[in-house]
Amino acid sequence: MARPRIVVTMSDPARAADPAKAAAKNARYLVALDAAGADTVPITAATAADERRDSLASMDGLLISGGADLDPARFGEDRDARTRVDSERDALDEAAWQAADRAGLPVLGICRGLQALNVFAGGQVVQHVEGHVDEAEVVTHPIHVAADSRLGRLTASTALTVNSYHHQAVRPDQLGAGLRVSATAAHEGGLELVEALESTDPDRWVVGIQCHPERTETSPPELHALWTDFVAACARHPAHR
């Protein structure tokens, strides 16, 4: 059977302060999907419009990767001084999400991708979480996974220790329409944050995860099942020829 084609929306490395580092980050997503059995189609805001259009029209699934902060104007808030937006990336992700949603395709959102899925569904984002700013030092923490969630069934676990590379997040009371919480973590001051979410429709493969499972050196091995199940769902979808 032919491998499914998965479009991966990414930040443009050429616009980063360290293009080589940004390109290496992007490559991790592609390596993970390739290992799980997919052909990848990376696109950025710099990708030509006709190429983007053709890629979205022929995809079997969508991965929204990490990147800069979402523009708070999209969820009705003024911008925090620590928020760094990429409006062109926002537009790219939204167009890709709309194309995938119209076709009912499987969608995986990672870090910013989780937040994007929530905002596109009408939800909101916490613009800054204290203690989540220094990427040079890897932070790990435990999360609680709902046993009856897709993530819970895939990992066969209700407790995982994951990495953290974000300073924005989603609270359970900020969820968009058609989404449910599938994992949470407790933070300082009693703050509870969403660590994973998914579609309330059990027949629709839409999952967002706040950690970075493509960073295998700091991810639990149980998360490998997320990649393989996502790719399998893309291969099963009627859009896949």
Known catalytic membership, residue 214: yes
Phi, psi of 143 (to 5 degrees): -130, 155
Residues pairing with 183 in the sheet = 145, 196
Q: Let me know: does 62 contact 96? Beta carbons within 8 Å.
A: yes
Tokens representing 132?
A: 């989540």
Furthest CA-CA distance within the chain: 51
Q: Let me know: does 239 contact 103? Beta carbons within 8 Å.
A: yes
Known catalytic membership, residue 212: yes
Known catalytic membership, residue 234: no
Catalytic residue among 166, 167, 198, 212: 212
159-164/192-199 β-pairing: unpaired
Catalytic residue among 166, 167, 198, 214: 214
How far apart (Å, rounded) are the C-alpha atoms in residues 28 and 23? Answer: 9
For 157, the 3-state DSSP assignment is coil
Catalytic residue among 111, 167, 198, 234: 111
How far apart (Å, rounded) are the C-alpha atoms in residues 23 and 14? Answer: 9
Q: Let me know: does 126 contact 168? Beta carbons within 8 Å.
A: yes
State the sign of the Cα–Cα–Cα–Cα dihedral 163, 168, 172, 175: negative
Active site residue ranges: 111, 212, 214
